[in-house]
Amino acid sequence: MPKIDLKIKSRDLNTLLSAIEKNNPGGDLDLIKRAYEYASEAHKDQTRLSGEPYIVHPLEIGIILANLKLDTTTIAAALLHDVVEDTPVSLEIVRERFGEEIALLVDGVTKISSLKKKTRYNDQVHSIRKMLMATIKDVRVILIKLADKVHNMRTIMFQPEQKQVRIAHEVMDIYAPMAGRLGMSQIRAELEDMAFHVLYTAEFEEIAAKVARRKTEIEEFIEDLRFILDQQLKRLDIEAEITGRAKHFYSIYRKMKIQGKSFEDIFDIRAIRIITREVKDCYGILGVIHTLWSPITSRFKDYIAVPKSNMYQSLHTTVIGPDGLPLEFQIRTFDMHATAEMGIAAHWLYKDRDTIHQRAFKNFPVLQNIPRPETELKEDVSSREFMKELKMDLYEDEIFVFTPKGKIVKLAKGATPIDFAYAIHTEVGNRCVGAKVNNTLVPLKTEIKSGDIVEVLTSPKGHPSESWLKFVRSSNARYKIRNWLRREQEAEHKSEAPPEPKKTEKTVEVSIPETELFKIKSISRQKKMSLSIDGTSNVLIKLSQCCQPIPGDDVVGFITRGRGITVHKKSCPSLKRLTIEKERFISIVWESSENTYPVKLSIEAIDRPNLLKDVADELATCKTNIIKVEATVHSGDNAVIKLVLEVKSLAHLKDIIARLKRLKNITSIQKLNEKVLLK
């Protein structure tokens, strides 16, 4: 079982060189010696809180990376990673002495504490954000940072108690999940157990004591199983290594909390791991196990055929063991085992590094969505949104769903058809108007499950809605929705911008006391084109085209230069750019009126007989007049009905939309740029 080693082991350069020679024969040892000597000289007057020379810290990080079989360039950068942060040495000097590649890695790992932030939280966010920006260029940045956190946690007992808690929370929330996303289960388990020891000392010690008491019992049980399995596998000429799987303490604690069980009720503490040479032997071993003991079918997972995003591969099966209790087996090849333990680091020296980097990149959607310019986050709300999406990426569990053609798509647990659409392609997401799950039309906010067959319905007129942000699960989808909404908002602002002044510009001054409330009495469109407001006259009033307010909408007036007063909804995005001139806003409310107002609607549906007739009948029931109608069918069965209706108020419009939504096969209803999704 995993142990927390709170003792400092004094090691030297020879320890590091020996680890490199063992794991990377032919590595550039001269580079390592030069980097160590330079870092040792730069840190010569510095000590750690333990009293040891500071060089011990980068040396230990180098040893961790060497045991992960990383290249000597990465290890050299680890030895130098604190010289820019904590000594007078500049990044330019590192670049001159050790080259661009090492300088890039050092810069990526270096914190930015020199920046003056309002809060420690913002400082943490900026550090993480900068590290992720550097990781986009080279994934080894995050590997060095993880090794750095491992050694910091191994020596955390020398920190003040308050700082121990803060660091442990950061490790548990950010760095341990990062290791998990990269498939580095060894690093993740050690980080989680050390943080668990700091944050929940009593619970940690209780679980450690109970595991120790059951150690002999578990070892005897595993030995009996090994004997039984060995006999069966020899008959099939299958070689395998059978061991008890070491479940780390925090995972036991987490399972107890999630499942509401006591320690005695957690049976997979004694799980069995079987490692063999060939993939075919994995399935042969699975057959033997299912012959010996009855499988629990709901607990079988084939991660060999469908690997996890972090490259993890293994067969998982749970059976009713010889003592009548559930018993879990993990079956994998030696190559799969190395990947499961060390993740992307497992094959760094032997496989295409560009492929490994791209695979790691895909495991962090937030890396794909992070703004490329290294601009500072200026508001706490931006920092918190960034951290929220990062944690969503780090903690998500996976589900596996299928396209209608049988292609497997991996999504976060809790994903919706919108997440699925954006996982297929950005334009599929942007044009999504509906979805079918297992051939049944469903609302777009439906949570999809593993094994579902998902089909996205699209339309050339379809587009994202701000309401989608309330239920999408993946940060990738959230980013693309926001990106589309931002572009549309910029286009609206551009179209609403006042025309460039000509040689002479005539303006009308409208002087309105701040305390006076203006009421819109009547607006008559079409031929009359007149409008009056209580308390004033001869003032040009117009309803904004960007939000098209109607009676019932919460509105505000804005005094425009030379164009009188424009009436906007208070929720109109265009108002954001006008708030710098707050003195030009006036209060406006609607008065009761029998007038009607033209509203444009676009209805999208899956075509069927009598669709247009049913829409017309429903509108007649709503007592609304149809000014204009246009119906077309696009690409197969995608029907679009465009209408101009006369409505009396916002309440009237809502009633119309609610009734139309109840019609069969309607997928969306749009009013200008506002999209009302089916509930």
Give the tens place of pLDDT for each residue, 523-554: 444 433 334 444 444 456 677 777 777 777 77
On the 0-12 / 13-18 / 19+ scale of CB atoms within 10 A, 564 is middle
Q: Do 74 and 138 touch, CB atoms closer than 8 A?
A: no
- Coarse DSSP helix, strand, coil percentages of the chain, rounded to the nearest 5 percent: 50, 20, 35
- Homologous superfamily, domain 597-677: ACT domain (3.30.70.260)
Please give the average per-residue pLDDT across 635-642, as a whole number: 78
pLDDT above 70: residue 263: yes
Assess whether pLDDT exceeds 60 at residue 101: yes
Residue-wise pLDDT tens digits, 175-204:
888 888 778 888 999 999 999 999 999 999
The predicted pLDDT at position 79 comes to 95
Flag whether pLDDT at 10 surpasses 60: no
The domain limits of the chain are: 13-199, 205-345, 396-493, 518-590, 597-677
Q: pLDDT grade, residue 378 (50/70/90)?
A: very low
556 or 506, which is more confident? 556
Q: How far apart are the first and last CA of the chain?
A: 50
Is 396 in contact with 472 (CB distance < 8 Å)? no
Mean pLDDT check: name the lowest of 219-233, 243-257, 547-561. 547-561
Instruction: Kindly report, residue by residue over 290-307, the tens digit of the pLDDT.
Output: 999 999 887 888 989 888
Q: How far is CA 242 from the centre of its chain?
A: 37
Q: Would you say residue 673 has pLDDT above 90? A: no
Structure tokens at 338: 């190395």
Average pLDDT score over residue span 380-396 = 56
Fold of domain 205-345: Beta Polymerase; domain 2 (3.30.460)
On whether the 396-493 domain is CATH 1.10.3720.10, my answer is: no
Mean pLDDT value across residues 619-630: 85
> What's 136-182 look like in SS3?
HHCCHHHHHHHHHHHHHHHCHHHCCHHHHHHHHHHHHHHHHHHHHHC
Q: What is the structure's pLDDT at 351?
A: 59
Strands 564-569 and 555-560: antiparallel
As a whole number of angstroms, the distance between CA 192 and CA 215 comes to 21
Burial 136-156 (b: 16+ CB within 10 A, else e): bebbbbbbbbbbbbbbbbbbb
CB contact burial 490-503 (16+ within 10 A = b; e otherwise): eebeeebeeeeeee
Catalytic residue numbers, as ranges: 85-86
Q: Which residue bears the tokens 């609206």?
A: 492
467: left (phi over 0), alpha (psi -120 to 50) or beta: alpha
Q: What is the pLDDT of residue 433?
A: 87
Which of the two residues, 472 and 263, has the higher pLDDT score? 472
pLDDT category of residue 102 using cuts at 50, 70 and 90: very high
- pTM over the 0.75 mark: no
Count of all residues that appear for the chain in the document: 679
Report which of residues 40 and 610 the model is more confident about.
40
C-alpha distances (whole Å) from 23 to each of 47, 157, 275, 589 are: 30, 31, 21, 76
Looking at the predicted structure, is the pLDDT value of residue 505 above 50? no
- pLDDT of 506 higher than 80: no
- Is 282's pLDDT higher than 90? yes
% of the chain exceeding 70 in pLDDT: 75
Burial of 579 (0-12, 13-18, 19+ CB in 10 A): exposed
pLDDT band at 117 (very low <50, low <70, confident <90, very high): very low
Tens digits of residue pLDDT in 438-492: 888 888 989 998 878 899 988 888 888 888 988 888 877 888 888 888 888 777 6
CATH topology of domain 13-199: Hypothetical protein af1432 (1.10.3210)
- Mean pLDDT for the chain? 78
Q: Which class for 661: exposed (0-12), middle (13-18), buried (19 or more C-beta within 10 A)?
A: middle
pLDDT at 517 over 90: no
pLDDT score of 3: 42
Q: Report helix, strand or coil for 418.
A: helix
Q: Which residue has the higher pLDDT, 260 or 677?
A: 260
Strand partners, 301: 316
Place of tokens 């010569």: 44
155 neighbors 50 (Cβ within 8 angstroms): yes
